[in-house]
Amino acid sequence: MGLYFQNSTSGTVWVAYAYSNSDCSSEGDPWSKKGWFQVAPSTEVKVRSGPVNGAKYFFFAENQDRSRSWSGEFTTQLPDRAFDWCWTTGSSDSRLLGMRKIIAPVTSIDHTINLT
């Protein structure tokens, strides 16, 4: 059970994702963001455990040389190093990047996002 990212490209992809987290409510937005997960070509990586039934997530992914990305309209600061932050947290070494929203089907215990 969980949230997975499948890399269907020929190069390495790095993924960051966001999930609902009431512990971040005091920060002004009840969301956490976590990254970076390395996904080698033609492989799949589990980034979150547990059933995903109907849950909302956000994600940003990019290839190794940053020539290709999977993004969206929900912007937040993401550093180049590993992180596990509340949504509103940032740093001087972060980039403002847009995350894409996804909602896992209510019938899904597992959900895979295929990066093509």
Mean pLDDT of the chain, nearest integer? 96
CA dihedral 66, 39, 16, 9 (to 10 degrees): 50
Q: What number of residues does the chain have?
A: 116
Q: What is the pLDDT of residue 102?
A: 97
In terms of Cα–Cα distance, which of 35, 57, 64 is closest to 112? 57
Once rounded to an integer, what is the mean pLDDT over residues 49-57?
A: 93
Q: What is the pLDDT of residue 28?
A: 79
Cα 84 from Cα 67, distance rounded (Å): 25
Domain spans, the chain: 2-115
CATH of 2-115, one of 3.30.70, 1.10.3470, 2.60.40, 1.10.287: 2.60.40
Digit-coded pLDDT (tens) for 57-109: 999 999 999 999 999 999 999 999 999 999 999 999 999 999 999 999 999 89
**DSSP secondary structure letters along 34-100:** EEEEEE-TT-EEEEEES--TT-EEEEEEEETTSS-EE--SEEEEEESS-EEEETT---TTEEEEEEE
Q: What is the pLDDT of residue 27?
A: 75
In terms of Cα–Cα distance, which of 99, 90, 82, 98 is closest to 35? 82
- Which pair of tokens denotes residue 54? 């109907």
A 10 A CB-CB count for 53 gives 14
